[in-house]
Amino acid sequence: MDGNGRWAQRRRRPRMIGHRAGARAVNVCIDFCLRRGIGALTLFAFSSENWGRPEEEVGALMKLFLNALEREVDELHRRGVRVRFIGDRERFAPAIRDRMQAAEALTAANQALDLSIAASYGGRQDIARAARALAVEVAAGRLRPEDIDEAAVAAHVALADLPPPDLFIRTGGDHRVSNFLLWQLAYTELWFTETLWPDLDETLLQRALDDFAQRERRFGLTGEQVAQAGGAA
């Protein structure tokens, strides 16, 4: 969700105004997913690197985050959204951690949309954690090193219970993944737009879906193989 700061700067307003507008765009995105029956949405709200921003901005973002948790969770629950947080939540203040946990507990049985908020998240951190969890299993004698394969790692990274993402959308004009779901994105279709996150609307999201629908996903196979499998299905 990139471009909040530039959105505000273009209006000669403080960056925080952009972050607030960005929070509104989150609702646009969630509404779109609910209406279109998209089963899972993961939002990169705050990276493990974002802690390095000026203290004032980090503090204001934390306040915005806490407010959003207080304001939005009941409505999300009412609409059948299951909420979870991925990332290093130990770094957040207790008030935020409590709200995160309460939101997850309240919405755990919901089925309309799996909403994951990546907060204090980094893809490398995610993979390192999975490696550590597997090492603990090995040290305890419950797992042999030779049993560590892709499936074992996949089972220990974030969102292990969901299918890998189909589509990655980055706003704000930069063409990089910036340490988002590194493991999970291996075969995800990447889609980039100059549009700044606060300007996100339904038309843009629909354009991303239309582009996605045109792509041929081969997963390492040949085009002929994919066409055959499609014909057989």
Q: Which positions make up the binding site for Mg(2+)?
A: 2, 189
| Minimum separation from the CB atom of position 6 to Mg ion (A) | 8
Q: Residue 210, exposed/middle/buried by CB under 10 A (0-12, 13-18, 19+)?
A: exposed
46: three-class secondary structure by DSSP: strand
Among Mg ion, ligand IPE, none, what binds residue 61 when CB lies within 5 to 8 Å by partner kind?
A: ligand IPE
Query: Is position 27 annotated as part of the catalytic site?
Result: no
Q: Residues 50, 166, 179, 199: which is the catalytic one?
A: 50
Site residues for Mg ion per CB under 5 A = 2
Compute the distance between CA of residue 71 and CA of residue 67 in angstroms, rounded to an integer: 6
94: three-class secondary structure by DSSP: helix
Q: Nearer to Mg ion by C-beta: 2 or 126?
A: 2
Residue nearest to ligand IPE (CB): 5
The two tokens of residue 11 are 């209006």
Q: Which residues are annotated as a binding site for substrate?
A: 3-7, 15, 19, 47-49, 51, 53, 170, 176-178
Please report, for residues 30, 84, 142, 192, the alpha-carbon distance to residue 34 in angstroms, rounded to integers and kept in the order given: 6, 16, 41, 22
Among ligand IPE, Mg ion, none, what binds residue 6 when CB lies within 5 to 8 Å by partner kind?
A: ligand IPE
Distance from the Cα of residue 161 to its chain's centroid = 14
Query: Is position 50 annotated as part of the catalytic site?
Result: yes
Q: Which residues are catalytic?
A: 2, 50
